[in-house]
Structure 1
Amino acid sequence: MQETAFSRLNWDDCRLFLAAARAGQILAAARTLGLNQATLSRRIAGLEHDLGAKLLVRRTHGSELTDAGAALVEALERVEAELLASQAHLQGADAAVSGVVRVGAPDGFGVGFLASRLARLAARHPDLTVQLVPTPRGFSLSRREADIAVMVGRPEAGRLVARRLTDYTLGLYASRGYADANGLPESLAGLSEHRLVGYVEDLVAAPALNYAQEFLRSWRSSVEITSAIGQLAAVRAGAGIGVLHDYLAADEADLIPVLPGARAMRSYWTAMHENLRDVGRVRAVSDFLGEIVREAQRDFVIAADGPAHGR
């Protein structure tokens, strides 16, 4: 039988190429894989030689897939999906949950809610390692920046398994010290006469995160912070009035609601790549997220009939 380029493919080389394609940068992929950058480049070059096709184009700030590279990534992800599904089937439902699962989440949910509950998950699955990456930006599941992503709003269509985790509300808050010194507005329009705390507008990761505009169209912040936890700290310290997540702020003794009839509402969704849906460790973490959110459901949504209420 005549030997073809595909018959000579080394799966380990393919795995390394897939990691580089997902990282978008040879150096970043090498660090993740624990390899020398030169070694990874050489292995990818060998794969390109075996296939007779250029897979990656090196740029100053990263690498781009060629058409051949994109086609190979798609094929390799199908193979990877089959391997993961076979592994899950062979291990069975009674297999121990072990390995690493990376969860990407907005910092409000990740730091303010999830982090304090991870000890419970660790006690349940001692061989499981959970990497929590709380940032305000989105995560690329196709590039494996996270195994599970918690997102604000339903994720865009793709090869994803998505689930609505919970609705949550946001309201206006101020510190008791700020209220004593400056008073509080009697209407939403009166917010313009106060110091306001909000996001850095040109760094808002998604339109859904621009909560402040629902309360006051002409909202202008005196203090701008890209982190929900940072905004909470600033408002607590008396920096001004801010739009805060109710599940983070409602029980803060130093904070008081401002115009409590006015609220905004959003939704958290979880998403994972369809290749991971049957992987035991990923499923265990996904189920845990649903469990702890159901237990705390009453904290996530505060009913209101005010004008600043929308999805």
Structure 2
Amino acid sequence: MNWDDLRHFLAAARAGQILGAARRMGVSQSTLNRRISALEADLGTRLFERSTSGSALTEAGSRLLKNAERMEAEALRIRAGLAGPDTPLTGTVRIGAPDGFGVAFLAGRIGTFAARHPQLTVQIVPAARNFSLSRREADVAVTVGRPSKGRLRAKKLTDYTLGLYASADYLDRMSTPRTRDDLRNHTLIGYVDDLIFAPQLDFAVDLPVKWQSRIEVSGATGQYEVARAGAGIGILHRFMAEDDPALVQVLPEIVLTRSYWAVWHESHHASRRVRAVVDFLDEAVRDARSCF
């Protein structure tokens, strides 16, 4: 069994489609197809059911995936054991994060990490969604709350707080709410309910008031911009809103607390790239603890 064929199989299994896997590996679609066909011929069984919508694993493919991931983890462990502490990090590492953290916090600091590892390509994917670490949509994901399922490892980064904010212009036009009941007379900004990707983001559950959004945006950065533009009152991250002179906190007694975690697949526990990212994230939030 050829290990290179297995690597191509892993990429296709995680991507769910040949074209996407080929792009991620930097090879042609025909090369990836040839590698998988060679592996299927070697094993004497079909590993994928191919269709126009993608490639689904067969029962044999699902069994092979588990074994291949163990082999990959062992290969990573061997490589990490042979590499000295001064061996430069190379390749690509992808960090998935909620859009608020990824754009407003991490993007402005990732240059420090890149400068420390000049031979490493760093990708940030800031998106209001969950990332599948088993399918390698990210090597490290920053999550809101600790995941409870999957073969994952996690490290808590920090707690963070949210409050109610509006622009000074909006409050001049509509008046500043003095009591929680006053919010009924204001335009409220929140998430699109059916696009909330983590239960911890359903802020209305923990608010001491009834929150009926009239403007709904699926991401934290979008909500921030809507509030900043004077459209209403939003539940915004303190690290995004507190130092913005265009925004004013209202009803400051209303505070919500959530937590960020760094999460990675257990098969990457020996990866020096993953370890370096997790250590950097921990360092970055620790240095900026007061802003959260």
Q: Percent identity?
A: 56
Counterpart pick for 1:243 among 216, 232, 235 = 235
User: What SS does structure 1 have at the residue aligned with 2:206?
Assistant: helix
Find out whether 1:296 has 2:285 as its counterpart: no
> How far has the Cα of 1:218 moved from its partner?
4.0
Task: Single out whichever of 215-224 and 43-52 deviates more from structure 2.
Answer: 215-224
Distance 1:98 1:48, change over 3 A: closer
The 2-side partners of 1:63 and 1:217 are apart by 47
Find out whether 1:180 has 2:172 as its counterpart: yes
User: What SS does structure 2 have at the residue aligned with 1:18?
Assistant: helix
User: What SS does structure 1 have at the residue aligned with 2:55?
Assistant: strand
Counterpart AA for 1:57? E
Q: Unaligned 5+ residue runs, structure 2?
A: none
Find out whether 1:129 has 2:108 as its counterpart: no
The 2-side partners of 1:288 and 1:21 are apart by 30
> How far has the Cα of 1:88 moved from its partner?
0.6
The two structures, once aligned, show a CA RMSD in angstroms of 1.5
The 1-side partners of 2:114 and 2:163 are apart by 33
Task: Single out whichever of 279-288 and 129-138 deviates more from structure 2.
Answer: 279-288
User: What SS does structure 2 have at the residue aligned with 1:100?
Assistant: strand
Task: Single out whichever of 85-94 and 206-215 deviates more from structure 2.
Answer: 206-215
> How far has the Cα of 1:286 moved from its partner?
1.1
Find out whether 1:226 has 2:218 as its counterpart: yes
Contact 2:155 2:262 in 1 (8 A): yes
Partner of 1:306: none
Find out whether 1:26 has 2:31 as its counterpart: no
> How far has the Cα of 1:214 moved from its partner?
2.7
Distance 1:240 1:109, change over 3 A: same
Counterpart AA for 1:40? L
Distance 1:213 1:294, change over 3 A: same
- How many equivalent pairs are there? 292
Counterpart pick for 1:77 among 62, 65, 69 = 69
Contact 2:73 2:270 in 1 (8 A): no
The 2-side partners of 1:156 and 1:60 are apart by 33
Partner of 1:64: 56
Find out whether 1:105 has 2:97 as its counterpart: yes
Counterpart AA for 2:49? V
User: What SS does structure 1 have at the residue aligned with 2:147?
Assistant: coil
Contact 2:99 2:126 in 1 (8 A): yes
Counterpart pick for 2:110 among 118, 122, 125 = 118
Q: Unaligned 5+ residue runs, structure 1?
A: 1-8, 301-311
Counterpart AA for 2:253? G
Contact 1:191 1:216 in 2 (8 A): no
> How far has the Cα of 1:163 moved from its partner?
0.6
Distance 1:34 1:128, change over 3 A: closer
Find out whether 1:17 has 2:14 as its counterpart: no
1:134-171 C-alpha deviation (Å, 9 max, x unpaired): 00101111111111100001012332220111111110
Counterpart AA for 2:195? L
Partner of 1:279: 271
> How far has the Cα of 1:102 moved from its partner?
0.5
Partner of 2:84: 92
The 2-side partners of 1:138 and 1:218 are apart by 27
The 2-side partners of 1:123 and 1:31 are apart by 26
TM-score with structure 1 setting the length = 0.90
The 2-side partners of 1:262 and 1:209 are apart by 16
The 2-side partners of 1:48 and 1:192 are apart by 63
Distance 1:192 1:213, change over 3 A: farther
The 2-side partners of 1:217 and 1:202 are apart by 21
User: What SS does structure 2 have at the residue aligned with 1:58?
Assistant: strand
> How far has the Cα of 1:191 moved from its partner?
1.5
